[in-house]
Each structure stands twice: as C-alpha cells, then as structure tokens.
Amino acid sequence: MTIKELPKEEYLLKGHAACAGCGPAISLRLLFKALGNRIIMVVPACCTTVIQGPYPFTSSAVPLQNILFESTGAAASGITAALHQRELDDITVVGWAGDGGTVDIGIQALSGAAERGTNFIYICYDNEAYGNTGMQRSGATPYGAWTTTTPTGKRERKKDMPMIMAAHKIPYVATACTSYPLDFVNKLRKAKAIEGTKYIHLLAPCPTGWRYDTGKTIEMGRLAVQSGLWVLYEIENGKFKLSSPSDRLIDKSKRKPIKEYFASQGRFRGLKDEDVEKIQKWVDEDWEQYRNLMSNSASDLTLYGKI
Amino acid sequence: MAQMIIDTANHIAGYAARAARVKVVAAYPITPQTTVVEKIADFVENKQMDAEYIRVESEHSAMVACIGAAATGVRTFTATSAHGLALMHEALHWASGSRLPIVMAVVNRAMGAPWSIWPDLSDSLSQRDTGWIQFYCADNQEVFDSVIQAYKLCENEHVFLPAMVCLEGFILSHTYAPAKIPDQEKIDAFLPEYKCGWTLDVNHPYSHANLVSPEWYMEFRYMIQEAMENAKRLIPQIDREYGNRFGHKYGGLIEKYRCDDADLIMLTMGTMGSDAKLAVDKLRKGGQKVGVARVRVYRPFPVEEIKKLAGQARMLTTIDRHISFGMEGFLAAETKASLYNQRERPLVAGFIAGLGGRDVTSETIQKIAKKSLKSMSAGKVEKETEWVDLRE
C-alpha cells in the first residue's frame, strides 16, 4: 500500500486541539483511516482528552468513551462483553492511551485485559512523559531525558512495555512510530483481523516536551529508528520479526550515531559523554536480544516458548 | 408459581441479578461478598444465566468494566465490600457522572486498619457523596426485592443513576433465611428491557464524558441533584407497585414500626431495624410509647419523612453503625440537619453501636431507648454522641 491508497475519509475532524507538530495527532488520524468508523475508542486521561476538544465539541467522528486514567483495559473488557451480548462483535474496540496511562498507572488494567484475552487493539502512544500535565517523567521516559520532575535528567531506563505485553502471550504485539505511517497502518489492519488482545506501542514524538522545532516531528521519529534507539518489530503468536526499516539495522554499521538524535532535542541537553556511552551499550545489548529472538523465531522455538 | 427458597442473602443477591436478566457482570472477590459472585459464576457457567462474567483483576476494574458495558447498552451488575468499594471510589463518581444505571450489591464490612471482616456501614456511607442511590436491607427477602426495584428505579429516564443495594456482612450475607423468588414472567413484566440515556453507537458517534468547562459543569451536577430528587419521589411509587405485584413492601424510603403514637422514635438502618422492632415490642409491653423508623434509602436522604416523624414525636434517637471521625454518625448529623429549619424540633440523641461487627441485640436497643427516655423526661440531651457497650 502507498500513502495515496489510504482512505480519503477523515475521522479526526478539523479544529482539534493538539499542539502544532503533535506526533500522536498525526498517528490518530492514520489510525482512523486504517480502522474505519466501525470502531469504539476508549481513551483515558491523556493528551487526547484535550485533542478531542471540550464539550459540546468533539474532533472524533467515531464513538469515543473517555475513561479513568488507569482503566483503559477494564473499560475495553466491559465494552467488548456488551458488544458480544448484543451480537455486535464486528465492531472493533480500540484502547488509545498515553505512556503514563499504559506503562505506569494503567499497567494493571491492561495486564488484566490481556490475560483475559479481551478482544481489542490497545495502542500506547508514547511521547515519553506525562505530556498532558506538562511533561513529568513517566516509566517510559528514556534515561537522561529532562522532564519537569527530572530537571537534571532521568536516572532510570525506559520500561520495556512491548516485551512485558509479549510475556502475556497475546497473539499480536508490535512497535511502531509516527514517522513510519504505512508500517503503522499495516500493523493496525493486521491487528484488526486477529482475535484476542493486540498491543501496539507507538513512539510518537512531541515537540512540546522533547524540545525541538514543530516542523521536525517526522525527522525525530526517523532518527530514533535509524539510530536503533527505537526498534520496529512484530511478535505474532510468539514469532519475532523486525519490520522495515529496522530489519537492516541488525547490522550495527547501518545505524546512525545515537548522538545525533540526542543533539537534536532540548530534553537531552544535560546528557554527558559518559551517559551517551552507557546508552550505546544498552542499545547494543538490546539489539543482541533481538538477534537472539530472531534466531529463536526462525527455528520452531517461538518467543512464547522461551518466556 | 413463585418459588420459596432458603438461602443466604449473598446467594439471593445472585438470584436477583439473574432474575433481572443482567447481561454483564464484572467482579473481584472480597470477603464477605465472595458468595454473591460465586453464585453468579455458577449460574453463567451452567447456562442458567445468559450473561458475560468478566473476572477482573481489581474492584476498580470491576466498576470500570461495568461502566463500559452499561455504556454499550446492556444491564450490568457487580458486588463488593469495604476495601473493594473504597478502591472503586473514583469509578463510582465516573458511573454516576456518566448517568449509567449500574446496580451493585455492597456487602457491608468495616474498614481497616486494623483488618476486620465483620460488618458496619462505614464502607458504603463513606461513598455518600458519589452520586449513587443507596438502599439498606433488613433481611434476605429485601435484598432480592431491592435489587429488582433498584433496576426499575435507576433505568427510569428521570433518574439514570447507579444504585448500591447494601446488606450487612455475615448478619445477612451468610445467613440462611427464606425468600420468595417471583415468577420470571412477572419480573419481566415489572422490569422491562434495559434502558439508558445514551449508548456508544457507531451510527451515532459522540465523545462521552469529555472535558467540560466551568460554563457547563455546574449544570451537569445540578441534573444529578434533580435526578436524586426524582428518585426520592419515585422510590415509594416503585415500592408500592412492587408490593402490589409481589406482596412485599418496605415503606419506600423509610420503614416505620409503631411510630404513630410514639413519644420516642428510634432511627436505624439495615438489620438493626429488625432488632429494634423486637425492642419496641418489649418496651411497649412495659408501657413505653416507643417506635422505630428504619431509613431504607440513605441517598436520596428522606428529609421530609424525618420531618414528619419529628412532628409527631417528642424525641428522636439515632443509632449509627458508623462514625464520621471528628463529628458523629451520618444518620445523627443528617437527621439534625433535616430538622434545623423546623419551628418546633424534638430532642435528638445520637448513639454509635455495632462497629466492626459487635452485636447489637434487641437488649442493646432497649438500653439505648431507656437512656433516651431519661433524656426526654429531663428535657435535654447530655451527650450528643454516645458510644454503646464501649470497653472502659
């Protein structure tokens, strides 16, 4: 598929309240195009609370249930159960939550929904901090990043949420990035066709929080992927597979230096050379893990057999 | 034919959920609620109930799953106790604010710390301001009847609010007593198909519960207050209609016993209302003109009924199985609040009894009545709040 083949219909309406250059808003528009309008959105407290606009307006042309911060997974379970009772199983239920609402406060309800096999797609749109409340640190904030609650840089690593979801042995886990729209659309469409819990972790650059020019959102996401800091992959029934363009980056020499990524954003201004070295070591370790997963998946042994 | 069963109030709550043709149940286990949801799980798995049973990972998720299901157009039920209810607190506000007619059995249990599994009303009364209607039951039959009545009320277009049906742990929850389960067709005739003010509908897409500015928020709150006032009007009607069809009536908002000529009326809630009746009979035999009024519905609070009682008695005594620390029991506080603007007010004395499952027998209540009668003769209340049977 090409960009031109995407549906013309717009279900994210004009006049929404996202910041200029908002990565999540770009991806939300694509999500609607990928999944169509026979969907029910479940949205906890997050930037999309604001993006959709205040009562009596909305920028969503599909039904959207706003729900408590920590409870997206639980709401989706209730909605899918009711749809099943009403014999409306063809409607797709979509959880759309930020990183705080997913990896921190919402992890319990999400884990519960996944363990119960709730038939829905959950997308964590990850801008690596609590954006809606003014950029406080979350469990998804990367090491070294400035946030309003880590003014000298975060001292802990980013939580590996997609792998936590893979440990639930759900049928589909994928990573995505705002800067690779077709990859995201294809993954959504694949997820829609699968029965059970589907989890997509979307890196969604945020000019307001990451401190870069609003015109550079796509560039930021590309740099994250090209430097190997954010890796695009799928785990389908336990089979791990790198997605393009991450697949060719298994060769370390093809990856851009991570320094370039850090230099492009104000939030990493405090990062020292030794921090960059430390992060590079972690990135290399992560890639070793992906290499192992690939070789496991190539044999009969799936990732789920390993966990 | 209606069926007579002998079972625990918890199981009977499960029977009521089935009789109401609930479509989605989401629940998490907690003592002493567990046997409610075990009964429902049994019904669902043995195909005696056509419902989805979502085995959630917490009470917070139980309430949110009910919110999601109710918003998607089906009747929902859950049950919890004490800490489970407290964990739901935020979601309780979301349910009433969303105007969803969810019904929940609350099996009353004392709050920790320290741990207690025994009953008092501090769990549900702590949720007073969440916008939920609250029924308090005195026996197993009333649990069944109140669940059915609650759906009838909550799904009324002038109400559209959620309701708790409260029953005290162990005293009712695990005690076998007879109850009549009416014919399903008769229940269906009384309680029509699920109705809600709105649903998540792909053909009519809206954003629900999105951000509301100060320009509108107060109006949404006022509508909940109006719905509560409507509920106050409708509860006695529904109770009468139910009584005419099925033979049990509970006085609507407040159940009165020998109040008509009483000098002293004791106000109670829950099972203490039954024990108080025995106490009243004994005191009456001794020549004391005593009555008891059981507040069956605590939210909306029966202000007008309390005023009426105040108009006919020389003294009101409240017995709270609850304490609002730093003040007094809610029943005491709200009884007094109801009467403040009355030109003539009786004396009001407050007693705290039965916290954490301490027995409140008819003897305890007789003791309270005798103390109250003394205050009445003296024309003044020495102590605003007195703790009953407290260790020295």
Mean pLDDT of A48-66: 95
A108 with B24: Cβ contact below 8 A: no
Burial B37-67 (b: 16+ CB within 10 A, else e): bebbbebbeeeebebbbbbbbbbbbbbbbbb
Other Cβ atoms less than 10 A from the Cβ of B391: the count is: 4
So what's the pLDDT on residue A3? 83
Residues B204 and B268 in one domain: no
pLDDT above 70 covers a percentage of chain A that reads 96
The pLDDT of residue A296 is 75
CA distance, residue B170 to nearest chain A CA (Å): 30
CB within 8 Å: A78 and B210: no
* A49 interface with B at CB cutoff 8 Å: yes
- Interface predicted TM-score (ipTM): 0.97
Q: Which residues from A are below 8 Å from B201, CB to CB?
A: 63
Structural Rg of chain B based on CA atoms: 21
Nearest-Cα distance to chain B for A283, in Å, is: 34
Mean pLDDT of chain A: 95
Checking if the pLDDT of A180 tops 70, the result is yes
> Do B285 and B332 belong to one domain?
yes
Please state the pTM of the whole predicted model.
Answer: 0.97
pLDDT at B273: 84
CB contact under 8 Å between A67 and B69, yes or no, is no
At residue A295 the predicted structure's pLDDT band, cuts being 50, 70 and 90, is: confident
The partner residue sitting opposite B68, judged by closest CB among A50, A62, A79, is: A79
Task: State the count of interchain CB pairs (< 8 A) between A and B.
Answer: 156
What confidence score (pLDDT) does residue A84 get?
A: 98
Q: Are B53 and B25 in contact (CB under 8 A)?
A: yes
Out of B246, B268, B293, a domain closes at B246
pLDDT at A118: 98
Q: Is residue B85 assigned to a domain?
A: yes
One domain, residues B266 and B369: yes
Question: CA of A79 to nearest chain B CA: how many angstroms apart?
Answer: 5
> Does residue B139 form part of some domain?
yes
Return the pLDDT at B391.
Answer: 92
**Cβ within 8 Å, pair B23-A82:** yes
A108: chain B residues, CB-CB within 8 Å: 57-58, 61
Q: Where residue B62 sits, what CATH number does that domain have?
A: 3.40.50.970
Domain range for B314 is 256-387
Domain membership of residue A108 as a residue range: 3-306
Encoded amino acid at B165, one letter: V
Domain total of chain B: 2
Q: Compute the distance between CA of residue A9 and CA of residue A7 in angstroms, rounded to an integer.
A: 6
Are residue B143 and residue B277 in the same domain, yes or no? no
Note the pLDDT of residue B254. Answer: 98
Is B131 domain-assigned? Answer: yes
Same domain, B223 and B272: no
A90 touches chain B (CB under 8 A): no
- Tell me the chain A residues in contact with residue B221 when contact means C-beta distances shorter than 8 Å: none
Would you state the structure tokens that stand for residue A66, as one six-digit string?
A: 């706003």
Contacts of B61 in chain A (CB under 8 A): 71, 73-74, 77, 108-109, 112
Residue with the bigger pLDDT between B203 and A302: it is B203
Nearest CA-CA distance, residue A111 and chain B, Å: 9
Distance from A162 to chain B by nearest Cα, in Å?
A: 20
Q: What is the pLDDT of residues B163-219, one digit of tens each?
A: 999 999 999 999 999 999 999 999 999 999 998 999 999 999 999 999 999 999 999
Answer whether residue B47 is part of any domain: yes
pLDDT of the residue at A2: 84
Domain ends where: B246, B273, B297?
B246
Please tell me the distance from the alpha carbon of residue A269 to that of residue A262, in angstroms, as a whole number: 8
**Tens-digit pLDDT string for chain B (392 aa):** 799 999 999 999 999 999 999 999 999 999 999 999 999 999 999 999 999 999 999 999 999 999 999 999 999 999 999 999 999 999 999 999 999 999 999 999 999 999 999 999 999 999 999 999 999 999 999 999 999 999 999 999 999 999 999 999 999 999 999 999 999 999 999 999 998 999 999 999 999 999 999 999 999 999 999 999 999 999 999 999 999 999 999 999 999 999 999 999 999 999 998 889 999 999 999 999 999 999 999 999 999 999 999 999 999 999 999 999 999 999 999 999 999 999 999 999 999 999 999 999 999 999 999 999 999 999 999 999 999 999 98
Is there a single domain that holds both residue B31 and residue B172?
Answer: yes
Residue corresponding to tokens 């105007």? B99
Q: Name the residue among A61, A77, A86 with its Cβ closest to that of B68.
A: A77
List the single residue in A52, A109, A111 with the smallest CB-CB distance to B210.
A52
Domain harbouring A216, CATH code: 3.40.50.970
Name the phi and psi angles at B240, rounded to 5: -65, -45
Looking at residue B308, which CATH number applies to its domain? 3.40.50.920
Q: Which residue in B50, B55, B65 is closest to A75 by CB distance?
A: B65
Q: Are residues B210 and B319 in the same domain?
A: no
State the nearest Cα–Cα gap between B44 and chain A, in angstroms.
13
Residue of A nearest to B26 (CA): A78
Residue B358 and residue B275 share a domain: yes
Q: How far is A113 from chain B (nearest CA, A)?
A: 8
* DSSP, residue by residue, A155-211: -SPPP-HHHHHHTTT-SEEEEEETT-HHHHHHHHHHHHHSSSEEEEEEE---HHHHT
Q: Which of B175, B100, B173, B171 is nearest to B130 (CA)?
A: B100
Give yes or no: residues B224 and B334 share one domain: no
> Does B251 reside within a domain?
no
Cβ under 8 Å to B: A residues 52-81: 52-56, 58, 60-68, 70-71, 73-79, 81
Measure in Å the smallest separation between the Cα of A81 and chain B Cα atoms: 6
Taking contacts as CB-CB distances below 8 angstroms, the residues of chain B near A16 are none
Contact assessment for residue B387 and residue B319, using Cβ atoms and an 8 Å cutoff: no
Cα–Cα distance, B252 to B304 (Å, whole number) = 13
| Residue B392 counted as domain residue | no
Q: Do A71 and B210 touch (CB under 8 A)?
A: no
Chain A residues closer than 8 Å to B202 by CB: 37-40, 62-63, 91
* Whether residue A306 has pLDDT greater than 70: no
Is residue A197 within 8 angstroms of chain B, CB to CB?
A: no
Task: Tell whether B19 and B51 lie within a shared domain.
Answer: yes
For the stretch A131-177, pLDDT in tens is 999 999 999 999 999 999 999 999 999 999 999 999 999 999 999 99
- Which among B61, B66, B73 has CB closest to A86? B73
Tokens for B48, please give them.
Answer: 């005696």
CA dist A149 and A136 (Å) reads: 5
In chain A, the number of structural domains is: 1
Question: What are the tokens at A65?
Answer: 């249930």
- B182 and B39 together in one domain: yes
The answer to whether B135 touches B297, Cβ cutoff 8 Å, is: yes
pLDDT of residue A298: 61
Angle at B19 between CA B237 and CA B105, to 5 degrees: 75
Quick one: B170 and B284 in the same domain? no
For residue B207, give the nearest of A39, A52, A71 by CB distance. A52
Evaluate the omega torsion of the peptide bond into residue B114 and state whether it is cis, within 30 degrees of 0.
yes
**pLDDT per residue over A215-254, tens digit each?**
999 999 999 999 999 999 999 999 999 999 999 999 999 9
Residue A299 has pLDDT above 70, yes or no: no
* Two tokens, residue B239: 């109770």
Contact B58 A115 (CB under 8 A): no
The pLDDT confidence band at residue A303, using thresholds 50, 70 and 90, is low
Domain boundary among B188, B222, B246: B246
- Looking at beta carbons, which residues of chain B come within 8 Å of A107? none
